[in-house]
Structure 1
Amino acid sequence: MPSAPSADFSRAKLHVVTGKGGTGKTTVAASLALALASQGQDVLLCEVEGRQGIARLFDVEPLPYEERRIAVGLEAGDEHPGTLYGLHIDPESALLEYLSMYYKLGRAGRALDRFGVIEFATTLAPGVRDVLLTGKVYEAAKEGRRGRASRQYDAVVLDAPPTGRIVQFLGVNSELAGLARMGPIKSQADSVMKLFRSRRTAIHLVTVLEEMPVQETADGIAQLREAGLPVGGVVVNLARPRDLDDADLAAARDGTIDPAAVAADLKAAGLPSGRTLVTGLLTEAHDHAVRRAVEDEQREIVSGLGVPTFELPRLAGGADLGALYEFATLLKEQGLA
């Protein structure tokens, strides 16, 4: 269970969730958003990688470039649950909205899109995609929103790019602000970075208890701190259950469990107790014990990173909607939401 220092994220309005590919960051982002909605908050869950992961998790139609209601939080006592909205942010639509909002290029912007200029700019121009994506996230999270998407949210959760790219992704507006001396581009870039570097933002990292993801998490924390970006917590995902005590794990790992005793226990329970089955069970127990030893070693490393840690279990059935609500409850109980 969590062993790192506790933290209060109640001041954070923007929760950024990142992690090495394959660690389940989209599942964690969705679960965190549900946990926040279960506290009576209206929450926006955003994605920027074009994978429609949110739609698949919540079993809804692919999300457009428009905020859509996708779920409600769990009821907790007398507290009325909040509503969870989803938003799929694509850079082409974000650029058209940006041109309309800041340069009043409504029809002209759409004409540029027809001629392929929008796709050219967002595909080839270095950093343009990230500027547009982070800009839209900023618009969703800021107070006093204006424009067609004017709903006010208590919290915004961003399913962000992987850990190896998160500092570049969030810091791109800092570089832009240095290039632009004045005007709306300069003002927007400064505002975005002010939000991202403030206590109103918390950047959470997702890992599994394996060497490479844990090392990337440690590197990511160091890079975020160096860039002046606020580190939130580390969510350890896909943790194996603790069904065996230390003595039994050691016996399974060392191969000292008596096969005859296992066979006798199976027979007493009315189960098959043949040699092949017993050998297979002992092999599974050995592999589980070895895997648990690796996880315990990596858990110690995570605990030493100096940030709050939270843990979600590995579920045999995978991450369906029911699992998201279960994870949301666990994150809420552990204090992430």
Structure 2
Amino acid sequence: MARNNSKKSRDELTRNFSDITAPDQFRGGPRDFSEMVTDEELLLRENPDEDSVIVDLRDPTEVSVDADGVEISQSSGQSIVDFDPTNTTEDITGSQFDDNLAEYLDDNILNNLAEDIIEKVKLDIQSRLPWDNKYQKGVENLGVIEDTQTDEPFEGAARVTYPILIDGVVQFQARALAEMFPPGGPAKSLVLGEVTREKKEQGKRVKNYMNYQMTVEDEGYFEELDQMLFYLPIGGSAFKKTYWDPLLETVVSKFVRPEDLIVPYTATSLAASPRHTHRLMYYNNEMKKLQKRGFYIETDLVEPSEEAGKYTGMTFMDVEDKV
């Protein structure tokens, strides 16, 4: 069903296509396009008070138009009902699969979605507070953070952090890195099912290309993996996120800190979790670039505040620099 806001008559519509003909192989020879538009195929009902409604009748057998809308009865016995044929709301059926849906949604819907997401993320952060506290304490026990406490039991006393924990972390990191990033590259191929020469050659090509992506195209792959393996024995969980970076214009695989991947604490896996949120930190210039590239919708960026630090774990100065 389509709508004609200019109230053209059938003659005007057909006259616009009078010079258009279709190729011979489609209709058996040249033919005026206006001959294809008949009374049985197109019904134009004009309402003096509202915009006209055009109804395609190539399949339906009966059409009724009243104050409640348009009902089209088809030969199969089914009916199509449009309760608001003059609605001018933007149709997104012609949008691409990877379009940003935020560009098509009403502001009220976007605001409601944002409020709902923020509320649920706050609950997820609250549910894992015990884990957050243990994680932060574990990082402090590594001895890599300067101790600024001044409550020594007596004058001249000093605090000592034994390096046993960080020594175990570094050894785990070194051994795991050698296994996950060998000299030949991290990617390997495995032929499932019947092994043939063609499949083995195909697997070799895929392996070589993926290793090229991870060692040449993604220049930070090794550093991201190295950092992830350092945090893994401390937090118990670590994550890699592989995606197309619109700024670098290449596929990247980034380490996601466990404190920045927010899920309900009772979730046993990401697949079973009702939601998982990746907390991202952007510089102001980075965000503007992503908006210009269409990755995010263009909207006014708010000034950072101390309130933002409660949900990002960053200080006010960090937030001011990043957002």
The answer to whether TM tops 0.5 is: no
Larger RCO: Structure 1 or Structure 2 (Cα < 8 Å, ≥ 6 residues apart)?
1
Asked which structure has the greater CA Rg, the reply is: 2
- Class of the TM-score when normalised by the shorter of the 2 chains: under 0.3
Which TM-score applies when normalising by structure 1? 0.21
Which TM-score applies when normalising by structure 2? 0.22
Identify the structure with the greater helix proportion. Answer: 1
